[in-house]
């Protein structure tokens, strides 16, 4: 049996007091790549935020990387997030320090202390994303594609079982988008990392086909087809 990394059963997703998505039933297995699509305002971000513990799950059942979302208190959230990687559209890199120090900041924040081990880990993740020689660079010296690779490297630091990618190709040209997609699919294949990627980019979806979840009229449709 495949290992289930994300499992939602009869989950109701709220933003404040507003019910955004109701009766969500879906599961994502180890190593699976899943697109999350839907028009703006239909609940994609709320669903992602629920999965990484930013929005509490109040109704229904949910489990992410072995953590029960219903029993999640704020003290457990950092531990869950160590098993998650989050990739943002706008990179969210610290602009006052170079790539190595950006990555070291995250390791220290998640409890790493040994300098040698930290440096080895940083070299390892930069190698995985094809940036081994770029650790000394400042974010402003890098292209958008390179910054997105740093963001992916950051997401890989704690060897996550799951990466949640929110519009990771949203600010990139088509050629760079293709490179980032190939990298994400390779990470899933090589390391068994599950990836849920929110996107509006139907060119990417057509080119790199995978299972799709669509948010629509307060529901999540599994194995959805493209609807523009």
Domain assignment present for residue 107? The answer is: no
- pLDDT the model gives residue 228: 44
148 in a structural domain: no
If we measure between CA atoms, which residue out of 27, 23, 24, 25 comes closest to residue 5? 27
Copy the structure tokens of residue 18. 């507003």
Asked whether residue 222 is domain-assigned, the answer is: yes
Q: What is the pLDDT of residue 172?
A: 87
pLDDT at 117: 96
pLDDT at res. 225? 62
pTM, 2 dp: 0.91
Q: Name the pairing type of β-strands 162-166 and 84-87.
A: parallel
Is 66 a member of any domain? yes
Q: From the first residue on, what is the mean pLDDT of each consecutive set of 10 residues in the chain (228 residues)?
A: 93 94 96 94 92 93 94 84 84 90 92 94 95 94 93 92 92 90 94 94 92 95 68
Is 121 part of any domain? no
Q: How many structural domains are present in the chain?
A: 1
**Residue 60 maps to which CATH number?**
3.40.50.300
The CA-based angle 21-22-23, given to 5 degrees, is: 135
Indicate the burial class of 219 (C-beta count within 10 angstroms; 0-12, 13-18, 19 or more).
middle
3-state helix, strand, coil in the chain (%, to 5): 35, 25, 40
- Does some domain include residue 73? yes
What is d(CA 173, CA 204) in angstroms, rounded to the nearest whole number?
11
Asked if residue 91 belongs to a domain, the reply is no
Q: Which domain holds residue 9?
A: 1-83+199-228
HSE-up of residue 92 (Cα within 13 Å, Cβ side): 13
39: in domain: yes
């Amino acid at each position: 049996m495949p290992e289930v990394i994300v499992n939602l059963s009869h989950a109701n997703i709220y933003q404040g007091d507003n019910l955004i998505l109701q009766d969500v039933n879906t599961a994502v297995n180890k190593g699976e790549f899943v697109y999350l699509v839907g028009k703006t305002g239909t609940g994609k971000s709320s669903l992602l935020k629920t999965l990484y513990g930013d929005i509490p799950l109040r109704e229904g059942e949910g489990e992410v990387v072995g953590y029960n979302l219903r029993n999640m208190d704020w003290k457990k959230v950092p531990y869950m997030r160590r098993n998650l990687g989050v990739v943002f559209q706008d990179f969210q890199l610290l602009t006052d320090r170079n790539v190595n120090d950006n990555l070291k900041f995250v390791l220290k924040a998640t409890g790493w202390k040994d300098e040698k081990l930290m440096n080895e880990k940083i070299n390892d993740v930069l190698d995985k994303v094809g940036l081994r020689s770029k650790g000394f660079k400042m974010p402003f010296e890098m292209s958008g594609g390179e910054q997105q690779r740093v963001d992916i490297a950051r997401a890989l630091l704690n060897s996550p079982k799951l990466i949640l990618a929110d519009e990771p190709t949203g600010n990139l040209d088509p050629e760079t988008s293709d490179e980032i997609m190939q990298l994400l699919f390779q990470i899933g294949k090589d390391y068994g990392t599950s990836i849920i990627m929110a996107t509006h980019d139907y060119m990417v979806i057509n080119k790199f086909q995978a299972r799709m979840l669509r948010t629509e009229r307060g529901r999540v449709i599994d194995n959805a087809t493209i609807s523009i």
